[in-house]
Amino acid sequence: MLGRVTLQTLFAMCFAFVALGSPALAQGVPQPTEAQVPPAGTPTPSVSSYRINPGDQLEIYVWGEERLQRELTVLPDGTLAFPLVGQLQVAGRLPQEVERMVSAGLRDQYRGEVPFVTVSVKAPTGMRYSVLGKVKSPGTFTTIQYVNVLEALSQAGGADDFANLDNVLLIRGTGPASRSFQIRLARLFKAGASEQSVRNAGIVRVEPGDVIIVP
């Protein structure tokens, strides 16, 4: 196993990756052509890989319509109500999908083109997970982008020196419907770790409400 400095360095690198975001995602976003660029000062529709969760606070803005600018919280059933549109099922959708839903709902209100609609996640309070056990800063965390288990541990300050990284437990859901995943991370900190060892580690993506326990 690598020394203490190397272990801490790897967690720090993961933390930096989470904070800065993945450049690969940014490079994969298509850039608008000149013909698609709206007039100066007009808000443009968002491009995001974050899926909306119950409890998230959204800002919905219809350009040129102050009466249609709202900050709304997604209800526990995954819906929200928007003026002139009605109830929308938004949980699990991307912000840009909700933009299209609002635009479609407003179409009958305008003779010409529907004004630009922008939807942004102002407070991603629905995307919460907890990291407990032998980590440096256990607690509940909120993020606007998805992370995997290794990145979640980095947000909790990394594992303690005596943590058992081969028995990390992720618990998803509550009651009879709950599931648990055993995740083996220790091999990732050994000299000569390979792509195969990364695949075998089972580094699953964290979902809202997940609890990660490091024994």
Tell me the C-alpha to C-alpha distance, in Å, between residue 189 and each of 54, 107, 138: 36, 55, 21
| pLDDT, tens only, 58-84 | 999 999 888 899 999 999 999 999 999
The number of beta carbons lying within 10 Å of the beta carbon of residue 142 is 14
Per domain, the residue ranges of the chain are: 4-23+127-214, 51-123
Please give the average per-residue pLDDT across 196-206, as a whole number.
76
Least confident residue range of 133-137, 166-170, 199-203: 199-203
Q: What is the CA 40 to chain-centroid distance, rounded?
A: 30
The pLDDT of 175-196, averaged and rounded, is 79
For 51-123, CATH number?
A: 3.30.1950.10
Q: What is the DSSP letter of 38?
A: P
Which residues contact residue 170 at a Cβ distance below 8 angstroms, ignoring those fewer than 6 apart?
149, 180, 181, 183, 204, 206, 210, 211, 212, 213
Average pLDDT over residues 136-154: 89
**Torsion angle in degrees (nearest 10) through CA of 150, 151, 153, 155:** 170
Structural class in CATH, domain 4-23+127-214: alpha beta
Question: 195 vs 123, which has greater pLDDT?
Answer: 123
Say if pTM beats, i.e. exceeds, 0.95. Answer: no
**Range from 16-20, 21-25, 42-46, 189-193 carrying the lowest mean pLDDT:** 21-25
Instruction: Give CA torsion, residues 115, 125, 48, 108, to 10 deg.
Output: -20
Kindly state the tokens that stand for 5: 């400095």
Residue 45 pLDDT > 70, yes or no?
no
- pLDDT bin (cut points 50, 70, 90) of residue 96 is very high
Mean pLDDT of the region 79-100: 94
Amino acid 73: pLDDT: 94
